[in-house]
A and B are shown apart, each in its own frame.
Chain A
Amino acid sequence: MSPLFVKTICSDTREGQVAQDEIMELVEAEGFPMQDQFGIRLALEEAIVNAIKHGNKMDPTKKVQICVEITEESLNVVIEDEGAGFRPEDVPDPTAEENLEKPSGRGLMLMNAFMNVMYEGCGNRVVMRKSRVAEVE
């Protein structure tokens, strides 16, 4: 990966918002369609907030690193926090009837809906990809 954008932020969602806006400027300049921009911004928001809140537990001494690469084929984003990680399969399905009113799990679901998402390390590094062309599932 030869990143176009690299930034290390504190565990502060305001800093996350700034990084998100900077990345979206690049995404827009690279000509990603509006529909994709919507999903990309939402996935970035959810992934950065997860890293800050659930990964680093808002600990001001811990950082979040964000790397973005844009190629002819795709947008690739890596977000890594300094937390203990997690197993995505342990997160309850937020669309199950018994979980519908609970607050957790929807962020991961939205990330998966709008980008291809993988977790690396102990789950503290998320890799998200958005192809420039419609992918066949």
Chain B
Amino acid sequence: MAGQRRIDIEEIGDVTIARFVDKKILDENNIQVIGNQLFGLVEEDGRKKIVLDFTNVEYLSSAALGKLITMDKKTKAAGGKLRLCAIRPDIYEVFAITKLNKMFDIRDTQELALAGF
């Protein structure tokens, strides 16, 4: 499973944009792979400013939310910052229902996520 990249990486200045490839972040095995690739950005690459771009994401389960929470913790523990952006209204509702919209730094667009980062 290690070979298949589930996130596209782009670097703008010192900020890393990680864009999810999948429309559905549901399958447990897929979520495991995505989690490992996200954690690698902090733990292996040592990146400090990370924007997660949800442009492609149409579905997101609670297991995926769990990985995002862990990613936020790992980034903060490493002295970095994490922002989320381009979340469509259906998905934002999932964050709002679980009150995670208060925990994460969520911006409407990638441009706004990059501003002042």
Contacts and interface: CB of A to CB of B under 8 A. Distances in A.
Which size bracket describes the interface of A in this complex?
20 to 34
B62 A106 contact: yes
A38 B100 CA distance: 19
A100 B100 contact: yes
A109 B73 CA distance: 22
User: Chain A interface secondary structure, helix, strand, loop or mixed?
Assistant: helix
Which size bracket describes the interface of B in this complex?
20 to 34
User: Chain B interface secondary structure, helix, strand, loop or mixed?
Assistant: helix
A8 interface: no
Contacts of B58: 38
Contact of B29 (A14, A46, A95, A113): A14
B62 A38 contact: no
B61 A49 contact: yes
A17 interface: yes
B69 interface: yes
B28 A106 contact: no
B98 A17 contact: no
Interface of B: 26-29, 58-59, 61-63, 65-66, 69, 73, 90, 94, 97-100, 103
